[in-house]
Amino acid sequence: MNPVKHVAIIMDGNGRWGLKHKNSRNAGHREGLNNVESVINECLKRNIKYLTLYTFSTENWKRPKKEINFLFNLLENFLINKIENLNKRNIKLKFIGEINKLPNKLKKLIKNSELKTSKNLSLQVNVALNYGSKSELINSIKHINKKKIKINEKNINKNLFTKNIIDPDMLIRTGNTRRLSNFMLWQLAYTELFFEKKLWPDFKNNDFKKILNKFRLIKRNFGAV
């Protein structure tokens, strides 16, 4: 049986769900946020230590400005209204990505949320926000060159947004799309991949539990076959 320590999720399909059910992409984003709490609860039950959620990519800036503003407002409200509850449940929040390029109000809320939950140990939720794996790798190499140290696997790891975070054991992508979309390309080298047809708002706790149980039965091989 494989223990699960780190689950990564590409929460794809919110916009499509919103257009289909409510004639509004934003309604899909709001609905999708409800699923996050369900996944967090299951991770706590199973003693999973890391959960990484792909929330907003560097490519998402190409979306309409109204949709981007709605997404940021949704996250701001989540941090304002839910941070105390997360803290009480001993959950640590960590944001990975180019946070310095985000709106000032959101940056302040992120900083406060990370500070408030910094000593919590039950589960670390990594929010990939304004995140792109290619730029992450480029930034890592730049930091290595600046420090004038050797370019090797160990030093690249140390200078990623995910430094001190173990690589994901499994990746789930909803939305019936079978690609990584510039998400954790370095970290997913030996991760088991699960592609789910359901759109993210339709992905329920039972779906999550089924995938976790499938993972436990996989014979994992590391390195060349």
Domain residue ranges in the chain = 6-132+169-216
pTM of the full predicted structure?
0.96
d(CA 139, CA 143): 6
Over residues 113-124, the pLDDT tens digits come to 999 999 999 999
Which residue has 């406060």 as its token pair? 112
Which active-site residues does the annotation give? 12, 60
Assign 119 to helix, strand or coil: coil
Q: What is the CATH number of domain 6-132+169-216?
A: 3.40.1180.10
Q: Is 113 exposed, middle or buried (0-12, 13-18, 19+ CB in 10 A)?
A: buried
Which pLDDT band, with edges at 50, 70 and 90, does 2 fall under? confident
Over residues 124-138, the pLDDT tens digits come to 999 999 999 999 999
Question: What is the chain's mean pLDDT, rounded?
Answer: 96
Contacts of 167 (CB under 8 A, 6+ apart): 6, 187, 188, 189, 190, 191
User: DSSP letters along 175-223, please?
Assistant: SS--S-TTSSTTTTTT-EEEE-SS-GGG--HHHHHHHHHHHHT-----S
Over residues 154-200, the pLDDT tens digits come to 999 999 999 999 999 999 999 999 999 999 999 999 999 999 999 99
b/e map 20-50, b = 16+ CB within 10 Å? eeeeebbbbbbbbbebbeebbebbeeeebbb
